[in-house]
Amino acid sequence: MSKLHPTQQSFYVHFGSSKAKIEALLTPSVPTPTSEQDSISASSSLSSSTFGLSQERLVAAETALGQLQRDVQQAIIYLPPYDQNLYSTQLDQLEKAVSALRQSLHPQGRFAFSTRTRPSISESLQSPPITPPVSAPLTIALPNQSVRQIQHHKGKFIVVRLSPEISTLLLNNLEDCVVYIPPTTTTISSAQMTACTNSILLLSATVNGPVHISRVVTCVVAIRSCHQFRVHETTDSDIILGRSVRSVVIEKCEDLIFARADYSNTTDSLKSISPFTDVIADFDCPTLVISPHWTTIDENSITKFNEPLYSEIVTLAASYHSFYEPPSSLSEQPVFGSTSDTAEEAILEQTQKIRAKALSRNLDLD
């Protein structure tokens, strides 16, 4: 097993401890008889009290399993796909064990209790599973989870209006898109961008937790503010970070250009883009002072994304009505509104020109 990041290691220990407690609740505790009479007495006592004791264990196991499911869902933001799949498989096994205990306590027949059908763990945590082909969504929102998910779009200009109840933003499988998340009066706790290609991803809303990008290829990613920024399996991309982003970690990445951005405190605008001078932790070469997997802007490495292009996107977003409206239910997929065909085509054409300009440094490097 490869060395885990401290956060992943901490969760690994937490998951193992929680799993052991659930398994203990699902294991019957039967006293060992010392004589034949004790055996008959124990059997009689067990048969008369099993329901009460086991029902308590069932309730405790269901409660603990539900909490562990929520813990895994929240940890998805920093867990690699392989680990996500392992945890999901173990949760499925625990759910089957809980279901078996529930069935033994409430068999079909005269004394059957009516139980509500529960979704399986795999249906709750992921649909399809977490380690599918790249085109599949990484995760979905659980019921009562304040998660906004934008996925499976090509050639779109997407303006994401975050409502106050949203705490987590997931962008997945976007190609040739320009995505803009404007500042809001509230903050979100985390964001994740996965399997995006040839796109501009601008997160100007404040994130008071981690931002994680994975399997991003040939993109411009601009993050205004977050507590921790992690990059995994990302190549040929420009990453522009606001001054408040301090903890940066990369792993299995190549050809990244980092830059710093100074945002205006009064308007949604970029004042300047400058070289990145802070430390970046590269897990693939922790002993090297200079990583071969990233550089910053200089006379040889430049990002074509600049302040005027950012301003153009903000201006277009203000006049663009084909944005994501908050759905009535968080489990629903948001839908596009509508504008006149002519106006929408003109805006889309302009955003595609901006995208081509911002990504043109890749052609220059060939």
Concatenated DSSP letters of 2-70: PPPPHHHHHHHHHHHHHHHHHHHHHS---PPPSSHHHHHHHHHHHHHHHHHHHHHHHHHHHHHHHHHHH
Reported as a single tens digit per residue, the pLDDT across 37-86 is 554 554 444 444 444 447 788 888 888 888 888 778 767 766 777 787 78
CB 228 within 8 A of CB 216: no
Task: Look up the pTM and report it.
Answer: 0.58
Backbone angles phi, psi at 125, to 5 degrees: -85, -30
Say which range, 79-93, 165-179, 230-244, has the weakest mean pLDDT: 79-93
Domains in the chain: boundaries: 6-107, 146-364
Reported as a single tens digit per residue, the pLDDT across 226-240 is 988 999 999 999 999
Query: What kind of fold does domain 6-107 have according to CATH?
Result: Methane Monooxygenase Hydroxylase; Chain G, domain 1 (1.20.58)
Q: Considering only residues 186 and 313, tell me which one the structure prediction assigns the higher pLDDT.
A: 313
Phi/psi region, residue 152 (left: phi>0; alpha: psi -120 to 50; beta: rest), is: left
Alpha-carbon distances of 357 from 220, 230, 354, rounded to whole Å: 11, 26, 5
Q: Is the pLDDT of residue 35 over 50?
A: yes
Residue 309, classed as helix, strand or coil, is helix
Say which range, 62-66, 100-104, 135-139, 322-326, has the weakest mean pLDDT: 135-139
Could you confirm whether domain 146-364 is CATH 3.40.720.10? Answer: no
User: Percentage of the chain surpassing pLDDT 90?
Assistant: 26
pLDDT band at 334 (very low <50, low <70, confident <90, very high): very low
**257 strand-pairing partners:** 238, 295
Structure tokens at 87: 């945890």
CA-CA distance, 305 to 231, in Å (whole number)?
A: 19
Domain 6-107 and domain 146-364, same fold? Reply is no
Residue 136, classed as helix, strand or coil, is coil
**How far is C-alpha 30 from the geometric centre of its chain's CA atoms?**
43
CB 78 within 8 A of CB 8: yes
Structure tokens at 210: 């981690």
CA-CA distance, 71 to 272, in Å (whole number)?
A: 39
**How far is C-alpha 317 from the geometric centre of its chain's CA atoms?**
25
Q: Is the pLDDT of residue 283 over 80?
A: yes
Q: Considering only CA atoms, which of 247, 221, 219 is closest in space to residue 235?
A: 219
Largest CA distance in the chain: 90
CA-CA distance, 164 to 154, in Å (whole number)?
A: 27
Residue owning tokens 């889309």:
348
User: CB under 8 Å to 97, separation ≥6 — which residues?
Assistant: 23, 26
pLDDT given for residue 287 in this prediction: 75
CB 215 within 8 A of CB 236: no
pLDDT given for residue 301 in this prediction: 64
Reported as a single tens digit per residue, the pLDDT across 116-166 is 343 443 343 443 443 333 332 233 333 334 778 888 899 999 888 787 878
Q: What is the mean pLDDT of residues 4-23?
A: 81
